[in-house]
Amino acid sequence: MAVMTYIDAINAALHEEMERDPNVFVIGEDVAKMGGAFKATKGLLEKFGNERVIDSPLAEGVIISSSIGAAMAGMRPVPEIQFVDFITPGIDAITQQAAKLRYRSAGTQTCPITVRVCYGGGVGGGLYHSQSNTSWFIHCPGLVVVAPSTPYDAKGLLKAAIRNDDPIMFFEHKKLYRSIKEEVPQEDYTVPLLKAAVRRKGTDLTAISYGYTLQLTLQAAEEVKKKHGAEIEVIDLRTLSPLDTDTFLESVAKTNRAVVVHEDNRTLGIGAEVAAVIAEQAFDCLDAPILRVTAPDVPLLPAAAELEHFCTVSVEKIVTAIERTLDH
């Protein structure tokens, strides 16, 4: 075991997987010589050479589509998209090619790729370095969408993703990269895909989140306990698509109240799906409206600190929503 940051955990997973399987390779802007914009791929070029660690041209479309092809031919590409804000040139390759290849060929042609994407706001990045955009991919069958919220999960889920046979969108939150540390095994392990985690046990309300706001949700739970004695169960979705609905439905069946938290825009953020599933499959268990704590429906995030702060989910906003739900 070693105390690791989230970015260390990602880096370790890449080193280990590239050692384990010679078919694994990395491609993206600045991933080789510079070791990645956030240093996620640090040391890979030195260890594995420039055939397996490729500084691509500035073209997200070809980063993804060449990965798809290489995967069809037996490789295990791990392309990196520097910021999800720049994933648009690669959206066709992801949603129309990777996501549908298995289906359109009835399973005879497949592309196991793990697209690592940096996302998320709250670091003053402005309108083009703060986006989430997970919804575009959650709404696309054929893709697995993963978004770890802890260093332990980051390593274990990335390894599981690379070994999985589906095209996977792997969302790494830039604010998590260096803000939290935890014990992470230096040995090989995986964390199962498609499974949510109960991060905090509770009986009075189920709070559902992922990524950076999961950390805020946990803090909010503690604060609500301090203020009101209520016990909030906190669920980390981990895989955003296909959703592990059982874990949160079971929790809501017990607590009878739910709040969903995410930093992306409100409309058709993942919170909409979670709320809709609860309203459909656990309606009779519910004692209160399902509130969503999210960014407003404006472009995310404006640069000036005052504006950014206004749009950003905070512990306080989560506490307020929990209180309102408990009071209902």
User: What residues from 63 to 92 belong to the interface with a second copy (CB under 8 A)?
Assistant: 85, 88-89, 91-92
Residues 256 to 275: which contact another protein by CB under 8 A?
A: 256
Site for a second copy contains 167 (CB under 8 A): no
Binding flag, residue 134, ligand TPP (CB under 6 A): no
* Cβ atoms of residues 167 and 98 within 8 Å: yes
Name the pairing type of β-strands 114-119 and 168-173: parallel
Q: How far apart are CB 94 and another protein at their closest, in Å?
A: 12
Residues 268, 103: Cα–Cα separation, whole Å: 25
Q: Which of 117, 270, 282, 313 binds another protein (CB under 8 A)?
A: 282
SS3 58: coil
Q: Does 58 bind ligand TPP (CB under 6 A)?
A: yes
* CB-CB neighbours of 7 under 10 Å: 21
> Does residue number 268 form part of the binding site for a second copy (CB under 8 A)?
yes
Which entry of a second copy, ligand TPP, another protein, none binds 269, CB below 5 to 8 A by partner kind?
a second copy
29 binds a second copy (CB under 8 A): no
Alpha-carbon distance 14 to 42, whole Å?
10
In the complex, what is the shortest distance from the CB of residue 97 to a second copy, in angstroms, rounded to a whole number? 10
Note if 15 is an active site residue: no
**Closer residue to ligand TPP in complex, CB, 86/289:** 86
The nearest distance, CB 85 to ligand TPP, in angstroms, is: 8
Q: Does 35 bind a second copy (CB under 8 A)?
A: no
**Amino acid found at 281:** Q
Is the CB of 34 or the CB of 279 nearer to a second copy? 279
Cα angle 98-77-142, degrees, rounded to a multiple of 5 = 25
Q: What angle do CA 94, 63, 127 make, to 5 degrees?
A: 75
Asked if residue 142 binds a second copy (CB under 8 A), the reply is yes
Q: Check residue 82 for interaction with ligand TPP (CB under 6 A).
A: yes
- Could you give the 3-state DSSP secondary structure of residue 85? helix
Contact range with another protein by CB under 8 A, out of 151-159, 164-172, 181-189, 208-216:
164-172
Tell whether omega for the bond before 237 is within 30 degrees of 0, i.e. cis.
Answer: no
User: Residues 255, 205: contact at Cβ < 8 Å?
Assistant: yes
Phi-psi region of 193 (alpha: psi -120 to 50; beta: other; left: phi over 0): beta
Q: Does a cis peptide bond (omega within 30 degrees of 0) precede residue 301?
A: yes
Structure tokens at 109: 């042609």
Residue 86 in contact with ligand TPP, rule: CB under 6 A: yes
Options 249, 270, 313, 319; binder of a second copy; rule CB under 8 A:
270
Mention every residue, 6+ apart, whose C-beta is less than 8 A from residue 289: 325, 328
Tokens of 171: 């969302």
Please tell me the distance from the alpha carbon of residue 236 to that of residue 257, in angstroms, as a whole number: 16
Min dist CB 203 to a second copy, Å, is: 21
* Residues 237-256, interacting with ligand TPP (CB under 6 A): none
Closest separation in Å from C-beta 9 to ligand TPP: 24
> On the CB side of 6, how many CA atoms lie within 13 Å of its CA?
20
56 binds, among another protein, ligand TPP, a second copy, none (CB under 5 to 8 A by kind): another protein
Whichever of 2 and 58 has its CB closer to ligand TPP, that residue is: 58
In whole angstroms, how close is the CB of 89 to ligand TPP at the nearest point? 5
Q: Which residues are catalytic?
A: 129
Write out the residues near ligand TPP by the rule CB under 6 A.
Answer: 29, 58, 60, 82, 86, 89
